[in-house]
Copies of this chain bind each other. A is one copy, B any other.
């Protein structure tokens, strides 16, 4: 099995009540692939960077089993950069700087290997770029999962809907699900979104957890309540990466497998927020991950005696 992840590889700079990160690496494909690499090893990234992105960071990704041949380096360009500041509650933030740089002219060309993956994750990018990637796949992947955001719903809804027709699983947050469907009830929203293409829907609710919809089936996993959230950047991409990482590792596309995938994604996201950027994602070993998964079992499982 192999997995292709398309998304951003970027620089972030974060200001939180706990301190400043300085310029560190970030981006949806970075978080998702590092997260997935904790569960699965045949991952190809497709992205774009500038001359300023350090080669040793790419080497580090490769040491985690991530193929970086699909990361195009623009020698006279600069890497996508985002700077943000979190408020005291860590649940809201202000964007201070967004510099698209090389991302502005991202025209993905997939290496041979990336075209052959059985699993495809379309990170949050313009729908046109997501469609270009889909068109380059040698055969229809077993599972296409896609992330998007309200911004594309505002400015590119028709293109977004074209991509959605080809997607198996959509992962968005609750507000985005409401905007995309025009329904406030998430149950109704899921029904409308299924009519647009996806057969599975994962609604991310941040500190309130995640919901999985499939037909009339429904699964809800909470986020782990934490004493301290140090830096929530990338938690959503880490969740998605852990989700698809588990699906690839088990090579099982079923509702039960996706339940477990949600737990793995939630567990990895709970690690992600413990330190700045991707730091924590690189430190987790299998024993620590299993221990965290056990905490989700304790958090959610109960023994009902029906009489």
Contact check, B220 vs A222: say whether CB atoms are below 8 A apart.
yes
Taken together as a complex, chains A and B put the C-alpha atoms of A229 and B229 apart, in Å, by: 32
Contact check, B225 vs A186: say whether CB atoms are below 8 A apart.
yes
Complex contacts, A304 vs chain B, CB 8 Å = 260, 263, 293, 297
Which of A217, A218, A300 has the most chain B CB atoms closer than 10 A to its own CB? A300
Closest residue of chain B to A306 (Cβ to Cβ) is B290
Contact check, A300 vs B226: say whether CB atoms are below 8 A apart.
no
CB of A156 closer than 8 Å to a CB of B: no
Contact check, A89 vs B303: say whether CB atoms are below 8 A apart.
no
Taken together as a complex, chains A and B put the C-alpha atoms of A186 and B305 apart, in Å, by: 29
Closest residue of chain B to A217 (Cβ to Cβ) is B298
Taken together as a complex, chains A and B put the C-alpha atoms of A183 and B124 apart, in Å, by: 34
Which of A217, A227, A303 has the most chain B CB atoms closer than 10 A to its own CB? A227
Taken together as a complex, chains A and B put the C-alpha atoms of A220 and B227 apart, in Å, by: 15
CB of A104 closer than 8 Å to a CB of B: no
CB of A60 closer than 8 Å to a CB of B: no
Contact check, B303 vs A300: say whether CB atoms are below 8 A apart.
no
Taken together as a complex, chains A and B put the C-alpha atoms of A305 and B254 apart, in Å, by: 14
Q: From residue A209, how far is it (CB to closest CB) to chain B in Å?
A: 7
Contact check, A302 vs B187: say whether CB atoms are below 8 A apart.
no
Question: In the assembly, how many copies of this chain are there?
Answer: 2
Interface residues on A, range: 35 or more
Contact check, A225 vs B219: say whether CB atoms are below 8 A apart.
no
Given contact pairs A186-B225, A260-B305, A299 touches B220 in the complex (Cβ within 8 A): yes
CB of A185 closer than 8 Å to a CB of B: yes
Contact with B along A270-307 (1 / 0, CB 8 A): 00000000000000000000100110011111111110
Q: Which of B205, B260, B306 contacts A302 (CB 8 A)?
A: B260
Contact with B along A165-182 (1 / 0, CB 8 A): 000000000000000000
Q: From residue A90, how far is it (CB to closest CB) to chain B in Å?
A: 8
Known: A219-B302, A220-B222, A220-B300. 18 other contacts (CB 8 A): A185-B225, A185-B226, A211-B225, A217-B298, A218-B298, A219-B299, A256-B303, A259-B303, A260-B302, A260-B304, A260-B305, A263-B302, A263-B304, A290-B306, A293-B304, A294-B306, A297-B304, A301-B302
Question: What are some 14 contacts across the A-B interface (CB < 8 A)?
Answer: A187-B226, A205-B208, A208-B208, A209-B220, A220-B300, A259-B303, A260-B302, A260-B303, A260-B304, A260-B305, A293-B304, A293-B306, A300-B300, A300-B301
